[in-house]
Structure 1
């Protein structure tokens, strides 16, 4: 694992200027990486098949067909029950059954769809709510050592970084390979105030 210090900038031009300052202070090109971080909620999740991180509105819900079938049967029975005592006409009874089935199917499908769309309290409690803490912007990530991490943080601050974080991650082929945009950033100051 590698030590990484990163600063967030609002534009690529500002991030490139910060990178030039890092190069002028002796940091190598393969130890500096620039990339854009999307706004909160717009990140691709690494485990999208895991239901606990997929927003409820995006989850597949059962088709309301079951409710429509139950509603159609109940509507047809009610239509026949109402119409049969009032008229002896077979055509009127069949028509009442058809209208009852249609209205019942519509109502049953609507009710089933509403039930599927409403998250249950137990489901919300079980999965929790996913909050992202990282702001969007252009991140300048620097592969550092314990000896030069303060120098990198100071260079990013001097370049106008909006926030500076420190992480332990995998640096491969000149970039932060295991960067997770949904993970909360840890400010550099949190490390400088911790006992060693």
Structure 2
């Protein structure tokens, strides 16, 4: 596991200027990485570790709409089939069978819609609950791979560079980025002096 100190900025230019301060302070390019963190509830399912990988939210609305349409269609088809089978069994005239199919389709669609609405409500409730638990604010995160001796310097340079929040973490630093960054986990604020930190 690696020690990581990170600062949140509101713009890329501000984060890039702070990165220059880190380089001037002796940090290597492979130990500094910046990337965008999406607003709460809009994080991609896969881990994000650069300026492009966090773009876009999971298609929650599309999935819900698709399931709802599928339930209504399935209910309508099932209702129509049941109506035709029941009236055909009694050797009813063709107009009666057609009417029975229409009525069955309407009833089946209503049942499918209510089942779909219930499933949609459960999905949306789970989504809102997850978003409510997320504590990380959006913005540009400038992360720095540090050691125990230089983590205070990294935090100081981030603060001087205008970081809104500064956090510390224990994670995997690989190929110049924070490989296991999880945007849904609450950040641990960086506290000075060193004795008060959890790392």
User: Quick one: distance in 2 between partners of 1:150 and 1:6?
Assistant: 12
TM-score by length of 2: 0.73
Aligned mates of 2:30, 2:120 — CA distance in 1: 49
Structure 1 distance, partners of 2:156, 2:197, is 19
Q: Distance in 1 between matches of 2:127 and 2:95?
A: 48
C-alpha change, 1:127 and 1:161, in structure 2 (3 Å) is closer
Q: Which residue of 1 aligns with 2:119?
A: 119
5+ residue gaps, structure 1:
48-52, 85-89
The answer to whether 1:58 aligns with 2:63 is yes
Map 1:131-170 onto structure 2 (within 5 A).
Answer: 131=131, 132-170=134-172
Matched, 1:71 2:79: yes
2:183 to 181, 184, 190: 181
- SS, match of residue 182 in structure 2: coil
Question: Residues of 2 paired with 1:175 and 1:195: CA distance?
Answer: 22
Equivalent residue, structure 2, for 1:95: 95
Aligned to 2:53: none
**2: CA distance, partners of 1:15 / 1:123:** 36
Moved more, 70-79 or 146-155: 70-79
Paired residues of 1:61 and 1:117 also in contact (CA < 8 A): no
Query: Over the residues paired in the alignment, what is the CA RMSD in angstroms?
Result: 3.7
Q: Which runs of 5+ in 2 are unaligned?
A: 48-57
Q: How far did 1:170 drift? A: 0.8
Q: Secondary structure at the match of 1:67?
A: helix
Shift of residue 99, structure 1, vs aligned partner: 1.7
Runs ≥4 residues deviating over 6 A: 77-80, 120-128
Cα 1:123/1:166, change in 2 over 3 Å: same
